[in-house]
């Protein structure tokens, strides 16, 4: 098998006469093999990013979209509007940014706490562990549209099962139904659904991390006299630091760019809970102001990058050594 | 008081037909300050025994007493022990100082300053003071070993438990650490139970050796006792390097007969042998002499020069034996030679039970180099 692959690649190399580009033979061949993937990445990611960046300095909207290259160039108009509180976009930008931070913050804490609890439970020996591990993964792999619509039905004020449950538990009266999808509760609902959707990812990552902590460290801790809490605090948590750092970073970034949950759960144009992704969508595709949408996207990108870099500097570099990765 | 007593200790893993008895009916007593080496081949139950003493494994039956108290059902932290692990088990995210201080922080009411002083004192003893702010990943294997030792010493426990602590070090460092550990144990005078599969460590380090095989205690004694008066064929073969040579013989009226030679026994030795005929003759390599008129005919196979001496591997009938000869001895492969062994150095074992019937007259206690006036 491997001989035939070698023969195939060898004959491929002989047939492909490619420019050297100053690279050695192996590197050049590797780049040519990677070219289709790089081309796809460029098409799907890089070109739209560059195009978005370009039009954020123009005035591309519904009327100029067809012939966007001849749209007026106004370098700072969009960015200026975003940061001026008396404009339509500027009036809501900051509140939307705050909503986004709260969404990311709430999600990250919830996903980590629930994921860690689940991982610690999965790390115990019990019957049906394999089944439990599989069941835990369902939210992560279930189709987002279907599950988010089910959550929406569950959160419906008059017929939803969430209010029904709260009434049954005696938390609220049957006449005081809670409006989960509008008002201030919308943000809580979004966070709950996002936690539910993403905690399996954290659970499995942390479970893998727990599995890789050497048993001898726990034995050493028990001989050193550490209580169960102290063992968790001084052995388990520090050993999970690298994997924790990755989860937190990903959760922050994924929450910042999450569009599916706010869009499907709250509908397109909610009064509250309009996180930046939805805010951008509404300006770009509902109002047809593509340049404004592009400028907002660039700001979101910069914010995400700054947070990620800062977080990386603060935690990842120091925590990669000596822990369960 | 750091006395340790194991009473009919037993450990069974699993149940029913799959049950494995790792330690069976083990009884041992250690005096305060004694250095006992638990030695045996892989799977003999030595580590399981140590882990039961530490409280990391529960005993199926029997009792463990440390000092005057039965600690069989105690948590590890309540047993007043400290353990050094084979892979050191240092906390990778803590500095050497934090590693050493952790046990005291968890298990004592000492204030931070006192803990820090004690850590520094122990670090000075072990010559690792400059390394205290390094994490384990910044330390070499030998340095990690010292930190692991320091972590145990700083707690001033009644008993040290060491589970093959030198096995991850290279040969030179192992030899150096062996000496240091012995000196340290003598200075601290703390009861120590040391597990190893390396018979050289067992011979050189312990006040006494306990030899285990298949979960059962074979012999407890000083290194010289175990070497010169082994209780059975297993101990005789396990202690000593190269191993003792074993030759199957039959006995008839004071004569031991092997397929390649016969050996006449004195009356005194003959009296030790019972009515049965099958025995195993045991000869240490250093007791086999290469002499022109030896009783044992052999054919040379290989000579291993070690510098200070050489090992000759020769075939006696179908059995390969090893003899220690002076350095520089040259023997072409296949050359016929004769070997002799004085009867006083001969070991004889019962063929079926393996029990020693006769042992050599080697010393069983260390002899003072300079006689006391």
Instruction: Residue A216: list chain B partners with CB under 8 A.
Output: 85, 87, 89
Q: Does B58 touch chain A (CB under 8 A)?
A: no
Question: Does A222 touch chain B if contact means CB atoms closer than 8 Å?
Answer: yes
Same domain, B13 and B137: yes
Structural contact between residues A322 and B92, judged by C-beta atoms closer than 8 angstroms? yes
First and final C-alpha spacing in chain A:
34
DSSP 8-state symbol, A72: P
Residues B263 and B190 reside in one and the same domain = no
Q: Are B113 and B86 within one domain? A: yes
Enter the tokens of residue A54.
Answer: 């370009």
Residue B282 phi, psi (nearest 5)? -115, 130
- The torsion of the CA quartet B354, B358, B361, B365, rounded to 10 degrees, works out to 50
Alpha-carbon span B91 to A221, nearest angstrom: 9
Phi, psi of A266 (to 5 degrees): -105, -5
Confidence at residue A312, expressed as pLDDT on a 0 to 100 scale: 83
B85, part of any domain: yes
Question: Which tokens go with A67?
Answer: 């012939």
Q: What is the pLDDT along chain A (325 residues), one digit of tens a residue?
A: 556 778 887 787 777 766 666 777 778 888 888 999 999 999 999 999 999 999 999 988 888 888 888 888 888 888 998 998 888 888 889 989 999 999 999 999 999 999 999 999 999 989 999 999 999 999 999 999 999 999 999 998 888 899 999 999 988 887 888 888 888 889 999 999 999 999 999 999 999 999 999 999 999 999 999 999 999 999 999 999 989 999 999 999 999 999 999 999 987 666 667 889 999 998 898 889 999 999 999 999 999 999 988 888 887 666 544 444 3
Q: Is A228 on the interface with B (CB under 8 A)?
A: no
List all residues 6 or more positions away from B373 whose beta carbon is below 8 Å from its beta carbon.
none
Q: Which conformational region is residue A130 in: left (phi greater than 0), alpha (psi within -120 to 50 degrees), or beta?
A: alpha
| CA dihedral (B107, A231, A311, A117) positive or negative | negative
Same domain, yes or no: B85 and B160: yes
H/E stretch holding B256 reads strand B255-258
Cβ–Cβ contact A197 with B under 8 A: no
Enumerate residue ranges in chain B where pLDDT < 70.
1, 368-373
Say if CB B352 and CB B313 are below 8 A apart: no
User: Is there a domain that residue B366 lies in?
Assistant: no
Instruction: Read off the tokens for A293.
Output: 């949408």
What CA–CA distance (Å, rounded) separates A34 from A39?
9
CA angle B168, B171, B173 (to 5 degrees): 80
Let me know the angle formed at the C-alpha of B313 by B311 and B318, rounded to the nearest 5 degrees.
160
Contact B91/A323, CB-based, under 8 Å?
no
Position B203 in a domain:
yes
- Residue tagged 């492969």 (tokens): B333
The ipTM estimated for the assembled molecules is: 0.85
Residue of B nearest to A214 (CA): B89
Identify which of A216, A224, A241 has the shortest CB distance to residue B107. Answer: A224
In a domain, A45, yes or no: no
Residue A180 three-state SS? coil
Indicate if B139 and B169 belong to the same structural domain.
yes
DSSP A283: I
Q: How many domains does chain B divide into?
A: 2
Does residue B61 sit in helix, strand or coil? strand
**Is the CB of residue A230 less than 8 Å away from at least one CB of chain B?**
yes
B109 touching A (Cβ < 8 Å): no
Side by side, the strands of the sheet bearing B20-30 are B20-30, B4-13, B61-66, B69-70
Please indicate if any CB of chain A lies within 8 Å of the CB of B102.
yes
Q: Residue B132 carries which DSSP code?
A: T
CATH label of the domain that carries residue A166:
1.10.3720.10
Angle among Cα B25, B26, B32 to the nearest 5 degrees reads: 150
- The answer on B297 and B178 residing in a single domain is no
Q: Do B103 and A230 touch (CB under 8 A)?
A: no
- Residue B363 included in any domain: no
Considering the domain architecture, whether residues B278 and B212 belong to the same structural domain is answered as no
- Beta-carbon pairs below 8 A across chains A and B: 71
DSSP output for B260-310: TEEEEPPHHHHHHS-S--EEEEEE-GGG-EE-TT-SEEEEEEEEEE-SSEE
DSSP string, A185-254: HHHHHHHHHHHHHHHHHHHHHHHHHHHTS-HHHHHHHHHHT--HHHHIIIIIHHHTHHHHHHHHHHHHHH
Instruction: Count, in order, helices (H) and strands (E) of chain B.
Output: 9, 21
Q: How many CB atoms lie under 10 A from the CB of residue B349? A: 25
Q: Is A266 part of a structural domain of the chain?
A: yes
Structural domain includes residue B369: no
In the DSSP assignment, the letter for residue B234 is H
B81 contact residues in A (CB cutoff 8 A):
223
- Token pair of B245, please? 């040579």
Query: Looking at the complex, does the CB of residue B56 fall below 8 Å from at least one CB of chain A?
Result: yes
Q: Domain boundary residue among B180, B214, B233?
A: B233
Q: How far apart are the first and last CA of chain B?
A: 34
Is B130 inside any structural domain? Answer: yes
Q: Which of A224, A239, A322 sits opposite B102 (nearest CB)?
A: A224
Which pLDDT score, from 0 to 100, does residue A321 have? 47
Whether B30 and B118 map to the same domain: the answer is yes
Which domain covers residue B68, as residue numbers? 4-233
Q: What is the pLDDT of residue B90?
A: 96
Chain A residues closer than 8 Å to B92 by CB: 239, 321-323
Of B159, B1, B174, B145, nearest in space to B86 by CA: B145
Structure token digits, residue A91: 């009036």
The helix-helix angle for A241-256 and A290-311 (nearest 10°) equals 170
Q: Comparing C-alpha atoms, which of B4, B8, B10, B9 is closest to residue B68?
A: B4
Question: Taking CA atoms, what residue in A is nearest to B151?
Answer: A224
In angstroms, the separation between the Cα of residue B261 and the nearest Cα of chain A is 54
CATH number of the structural domain spanning residue B220 = 3.40.50.300
The CATH number of the domain holding residue B295 is: 2.40.50.140
Q: Do B85 and A225 touch (CB under 8 A)?
A: no
Same domain, B208 and B307: no
CB pair distance less than 8 Å for A224 and B103: yes
Q: What residues contact residue B176 under an 8 Å CB cut-off, 6+ apart?
A: none
Q: Which two tokens stand for residue B142?
A: 């030998």
Q: Decide if B81 touches A, using CB distance below 8 A.
A: yes
Of B91, B106, B151, the CB nearest to A225: B106
Closest CA to B338 of B301, B302, B288: B288
B25 with B173, same domain? yes
Residue A24 confidence (pLDDT): 78
What pLDDT score was predicted for residue A158? 85
- pLDDT given at position A323: 46
Would you state the torsion angle of the CA atoms of residues B158, B164, B166, B168, taken in this order, to the nearest 10 degrees? -140
Number of domains in chain A: 1
**Set of chain A residues whose Cβ sits within 8 Å of the Cβ of B107:** 224-225
Cα–Cα distances (Å) from B98 to A75, A239, B103, B118, in that order, read: 56, 15, 9, 12
What pLDDT is stored for residue B68 in this prediction? 85
Contact flag A321-B92 (C-beta cutoff 8 Å): yes
Domain match, B206 and B306 both = no
Domain that holds residue A123: 83-319
Whether residue B159 contacts residue B131, with contact meaning beta carbons closer than 8 Å, is answered with no
Angstrom CA distances, B323 to A92, B239, B271, B319, stand at 94, 16, 28, 13
Instruction: Give the whole-angstrom CA distance, residue B248 versus residue B125.
Output: 52
Please identify, among B233, B253, B285, the residue that sits at the C-terminal boundary of a domain.
B233
**Among A223, A227, A238, whose Cβ lies nearest the Cβ of B83?**
A223
- Mark which of B208, B233, B258 sits at the end of a domain: B233
Residue pair A251/A198 in contact (Cβ under 8 Å)? The answer is: yes
Query: Is the CB of B85 less than 8 angstroms away from the CB of A214?
Result: no
Beta-carbon separation of B135 and A321 below 8 A = yes
Question: Which chain A residues have a beta carbon less than 8 Å from that of B75?
Answer: 222
B284 plus B206 within the same structural domain: no
Whether residue B151 lies inside any domain: the answer is: yes
Asked if the structure places residue A58 within a domain, the reply is no
- Tell me which residue of A79, A92, A61, A72 sits closest to A296, measured CA to CA: A79
* Contact: B92, A224; criterion CB under 8 Å: no
In a domain, B280, yes or no: yes
Tell me the C-alpha distance between A175 and A95, whole Å: 32
Search chain A and give the residue with CA nearest B153.
Answer: A224
């Amino acid at each position: 098998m491997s001989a035939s692959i070698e023969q195939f690649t060898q004959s491929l190399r002989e047939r492909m006469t490619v420019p050297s580009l100053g690279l050695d033979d192996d590197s050049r061949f590797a780049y040519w093999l990677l070219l289709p993937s790089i081309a796809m990445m460029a098409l799907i990611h890089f070109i739209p990013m560059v195009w978005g960046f370009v039009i954020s300095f123009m005035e591309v909207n519904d009327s100029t979209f067809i012939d966007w290259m001849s749209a007026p160039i106004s370098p700072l108009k969009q960015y200026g509007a975003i940061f001026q509180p008396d404009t339509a976009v500027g009036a809501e930008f900051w509140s939307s940014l705050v909503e986004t931070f709260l969404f990311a913050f709430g999600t990250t804490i919830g996903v980590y706490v629930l994921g860690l609890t689940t991982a610690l439970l999965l790390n115990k020996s019990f019957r049906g562990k394999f089944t439990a591990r599989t069941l835990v993964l369902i939210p992560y792999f279930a189709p987002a549209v279907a599950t988010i619509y089910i959550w929406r039905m569950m959160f419906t004020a008059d017929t939803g099962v969430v209010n029904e449950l709260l009434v049954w538990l005696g938390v609220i009266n049957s006449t005081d139904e809670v409006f989960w999808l509008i008002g201030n509760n919308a943000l809580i609902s979004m966070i709950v659904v996002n936690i539910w959707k993403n905690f399996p990812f954290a659970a499995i990552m942390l479970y893998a991390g727990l599995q890789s902590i050497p048993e001898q460290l726990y034995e050493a801790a028990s001989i050193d006299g550490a209580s169960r809490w102290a063992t968790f605090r001084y052995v388990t948590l520090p050993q999970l630091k690298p994997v924790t750092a990755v989860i937190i970073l990903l959760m922050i970034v994924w929450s910042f760019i999450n569009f599916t949950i706010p869009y499907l759960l709250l509908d397109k144009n909610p009064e509250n809970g309009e996180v930046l992704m939805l805010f951008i969508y509404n300006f770009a595709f509902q109002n047809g102001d593509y340049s404004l949408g592009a400028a907002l996207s660039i700001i979101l990108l910069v914010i995400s990058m700054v947070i990620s870099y800062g977080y990386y500097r603060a935690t990842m570099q120091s925590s990669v050594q000596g822990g369960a990765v | 008081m750091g006395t340790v007593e194991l009473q009919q200790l037993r450990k069974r893993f699993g149940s029913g037909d799959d049950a494995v008895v790792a330690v069976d009916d083990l009884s041992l007593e250690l005096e305060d300050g004694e250095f006992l080496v638990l030695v045996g081949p892989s799977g003999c139950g030595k580590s399981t025994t140590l882990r039961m003493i530490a409280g990391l494994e529960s005993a199926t039956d029997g009792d463990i007493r440390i000092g005057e108290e039965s600690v069989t059902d105690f948590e590890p932290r309540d047993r007043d022990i400290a353990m050094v692990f084979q892979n050191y088990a240092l906390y990778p995210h803590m500095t050497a100082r934090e590693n050493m201080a952790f046990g005291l922080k968890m298990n004592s009411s000492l204030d931070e300053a006192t803990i820090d002083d004690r850590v520094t004192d122990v670090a000075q003893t072990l010559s690792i003071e400059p390394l205290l702010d390094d994490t384990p990943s910044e330390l070499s294997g030998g340095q990690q070993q010292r930190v692991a030792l320091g972590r145990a010493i700083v707690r001033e426990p009644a008993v040290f438990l060491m589970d093959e602590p030198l096995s991850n070090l290279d040969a030179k460092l192992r030899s150096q650490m062996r000496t240091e550990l012995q000196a340290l144990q003598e200075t601290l005078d703390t009861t120590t139970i040391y597990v190893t599969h390396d018979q050289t460590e067992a011979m050189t380090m312990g006040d006494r050796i306990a030899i285990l095989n298949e979960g059962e205690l074979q012999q407890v004694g000083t290194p010289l006792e175990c070497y010169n008066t082994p209780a059975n064929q297993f101990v005789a073969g396990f202690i000593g390097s190269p191993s003792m040579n074993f030759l199957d013989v039959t006995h008839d009226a004071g004569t031991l007969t092997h397929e390649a030679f016969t050996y006449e026994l004195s009356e005194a030795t003959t009296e030790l042998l019972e009515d049965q005929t099958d025995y195993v003759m045991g000869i240490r390599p250093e007791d086999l002499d290469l002499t022109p008129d030896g009783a044992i005919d052999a054919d040379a196979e290989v000579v291993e020069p070690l510098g200070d001496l050489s090992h000759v591997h020769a075939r006696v009938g179908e059995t390969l034996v090893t003899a220690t000869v002076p350095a520089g001895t040259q023997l072409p492969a296949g050359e016929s030679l004769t070997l002799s062994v004085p009867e006083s150095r001969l070991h004889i074992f019962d063929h079926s039970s393996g029990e020693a019937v006769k042992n050599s007259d080697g010393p069983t206690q260390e002899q003072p180099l300079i006689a006391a006036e």
